[in-house]
């Protein structure tokens, strides 16, 4: 009897060994093996930061569900945006905590929040005829009828390049020469000379937008990422200005007084609606949107005219 069981046990053992090797390989491929080296998630969520990557919980099918009208015959950027471009760009920022901070649910929520901004800013919801205006995200990849040249040569660092136009382009549209300069420096592309890259290359368009989400506008200010995942602790001045961690503060950082501090406006609420709609589609549910969802009564971090995104 013992003799008959031996080969069976050996087989089991081999199988177990094989599975272990495979799991190890998978872990390394997913970047888990890099924890503590390249993965600098030293914020509060650090402990959980290596718990999976965005493509573990956000699949191509989700992308299709969130942006079902993007190839519609009425869409202005049909065929431009795709899942692969988003995942490729996102992977560059996962080591810094994008979608990987605070455990899986927070990861899903951060992706929904980020895409909520993107969806709202690139939507042609106004074209909708069947009550589904939130389905129209990623319809544009650039501003259609620029009302001005967006060239400000008082900025010495990033002067306009002759013959180049700086109208809104990308996933979280960039306007003005100096903003193309700053974002270009951030993603190591010469956007000042070639702003058109943001309407020609979806990976770069997502990369520019995620860079913006992850990066504070000014020293000693938080990034949209930090206020959303809870890395940021408001100061006394912040609480007096009604700035608390949550989705509302991400709008404050990204749009300033274009959107915030004017009470409950349509332009603010449509961004919130996209975020909540995506939370539903990603099976977290809009009831988990978090506290401090709006910024209607927040004082803005950076007042005015120089806000890059409107
Ligand atoms: C990863 O996330 C799951 C689900 O949120 C949790 O149960 C698990 O403990 C986490 N693992 C690590 C290593 O943080
Ligand atoms: C939209 O177009 C992209 C790029 O051509 C393609 O990958 C994707 O499958 C299309 N999606 C839909 C819903 O038509
Ligand atoms: C988009 O830009 C990335 C990064 O520079 C590059 O690897 C990729 O080949 C570009 N894609 C296209 C279609 O040009």
Q: Tens of pLDDT along the chain (310 residues)?
A: 445 555 555 555 544 554 444 443 443 344 333 344 334 444 444 444 455 789 989 999 999 999 999 999 999 999 999 999 999 999 999 989 999 998 889 999 999 999 999 999 999 999 888 889 999 999 999 999 898 989 999 989 999 999 999 999 999 999 999 999 999 999 999 999 999 999 999 999 999 999 999 999 888 899 999 999 999 999 999 999 999 999 999 999 999 999 999 999 999 999 999 999 999 999 999 999 999 999 999 999 998 755 444 4
Ligand 3 cavity residues, CB under 6 Å = 201, 203-204
Distance 204 CA to ligand 3 centre (A): 7
pTM: 0.82
CB–CB of 233/216 below 8 Å? no
Three-state secondary structure call for residue 299: coil
Three-state secondary structure call for residue 174: strand
The Cα–Cα gap between 90 and 217 comes to 20
Torsion of the alpha carbons at 29, 35, 37 and 43, rounded to the nearest 10? 130
The Cα–Cα gap between 151 and 162 comes to 10
The pLDDT, as a whole number, for residue 33 is: 35
Distance 200 CA to ligand 3 centre (A): 9
**Secondary element (H or E) of residue 17:** helix 2-29
Domains with residue ranges and CATH for the chain: 32-139+201-288 (1.10.530.10)
Give the ligand at the shortest distance from the Cα of 57. 1
Give the ligand at the shortest distance from the Cα of 65. 2
Residue with tokens 């979280």: 172
The pLDDT, as a whole number, for residue 128 is: 85
Q: Average model confidence (pLDDT) for the chain?
A: 86
The Cα–Cα gap between 220 and 208 comes to 21
Q: Per-residue pLDDT tens for 43-93?
A: 444 444 455 789 989 999 999 999 999 999 999 999 999 999 999 999 999
Neighbours of 57 (CB within 10 A): 17
Ligand 1 cavity residues, CB under 6 Å = 48, 51, 103-104
The Cα–Cα gap between 30 and 51 comes to 10
Q: What is the 8-class DSSP label of residue 77? A: T
Distance 68 CA to ligand 2 centre (A): 9
The pLDDT, as a whole number, for residue 129 is: 83
Q: Which two tokens stand for residue 113?
A: 């929040």
- Atom of ligand 2 minimally distant from the CA of 80: 4
The pLDDT, as a whole number, for residue 36 is: 41
């Amino acid at each position: 009897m013992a003799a008959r069981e031996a080969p069976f046990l050996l087989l089991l053992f081999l199988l177990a060994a094989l599975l272990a090797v495979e799991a190890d390989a998978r872990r390394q491929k997913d970047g888990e093996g890099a924890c503590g080296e390249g993965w600098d998630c030293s914020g509060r969520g650090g402990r959980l930061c290596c718990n999976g990557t965005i493509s573990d919980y956000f699949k191509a099918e989700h992308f299709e569900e969130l942006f079902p009208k993007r190839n519609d015959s009425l869409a202005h950027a049909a065929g431009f945006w795709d899942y692969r471009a988003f995942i490729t760009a996102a992977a560059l920022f996962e080591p810094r905590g994008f979608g990987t901070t605070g455990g899986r649910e927070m990861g899903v929520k951060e992706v929904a929040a980020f895409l909520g901004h993107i969806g709202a800013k690139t939507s042609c919801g106004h074209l909708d005829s069947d009550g589904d205006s939130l389905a129209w995200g990623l319809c544009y990849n650039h501003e259609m009828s620029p009302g001005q040249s967006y060239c400000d040569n008082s900025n010495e660092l990033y002067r306009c390049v002759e013959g180049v136009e700086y109208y809104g382009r990308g996933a979280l549209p960039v306007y003005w020469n100096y903003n193309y300069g700053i974002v270009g420096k951030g993603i190591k592309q010469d956007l000042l000379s070639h702003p058109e890259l943001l309407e020609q290359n979806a990976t770069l368009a997502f990369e520019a937008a995620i860079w913006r989400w992850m990066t504070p506008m000014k020293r000693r200010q938080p990034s949209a990422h930090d206020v959303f995942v809870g890395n940021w602790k408001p100061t006394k001045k912040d609480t007096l200005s009604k700035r608390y961690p949550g989705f509302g503060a991400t709008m404050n950082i990204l749009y300033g007084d274009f959107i915030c501090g004017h009470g409950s406006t349509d332009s603010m609420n449509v961004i919130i609606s996209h975020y909540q709609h995506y939370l539903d589609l990603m099976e977290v549910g809009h009831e988990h949107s978090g506290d401090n969802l709006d910024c209607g009564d927040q004082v803005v971090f950076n007042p005015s005219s120089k806000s890059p995104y409107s």
